[in-house]
Amino acid sequence: MYFLLYYLLTEEDSDFMQGIFVSIPFKRENTIVLFNEFRNIVRTTIIASGAIAVIEGGITRRFLKSTLPAALSPLTIIKDQQSRFLQQIFLREELLFLQT
């Protein structure tokens, strides 16, 4: 598919394109119209896909930039609670050790 698109968009006078041109069972004028329409559709699709990718990338970046810190904050709270819990356990064990 990409091979065909490459030759369709870059080399219109190549042997490959002439072979396709001859093998289409339409009049020459209709074949030219068909190729021109196909070329326009392919270019429009490529441009639209690129524009949509850029827009979606910007939206995703903004979403992750604004929500990722909020999503990670519960993890930091849990980590702080675990470290406090471990500190309490070590203090208890240290007190028990000092009492004996």
At 44-76, the pLDDT tens digits run 888 898 899 999 988 888 877 776 666 566 556
Helices (H), 1-100: 2-10, 15-23, 28-99
Residue 43, domain member (yes or no):
yes
Residue 78, domain member (yes or no):
no
Residue 53, domain member (yes or no):
yes
Spatial CA neighbour of 39 closest among 2, 1, 5, 3: 5
Confidence class for position 88, pLDDT limits 50, 70, 90: confident
Quote the tokens at residue 56.
């979606």
Confidence class for position 78, pLDDT limits 50, 70, 90: low
Q: How many domains does the chain have?
A: 1
Residue 98, domain member (yes or no):
no
Residue 10, domain member (yes or no):
yes
Q: Residue 63: what pLDDT?
A: 79
Residue 16, domain member (yes or no):
yes
For residue 67, give the amino acid letter: T
Residue 83, domain member (yes or no):
no
pTM equals: 0.50
Parent domain of 13:
2-72
Residue 17, domain member (yes or no):
yes
More confident residue, 70 or 22: 22
Do 25 and 34 meet the contact criterion of CB atoms below 8 Å apart? no
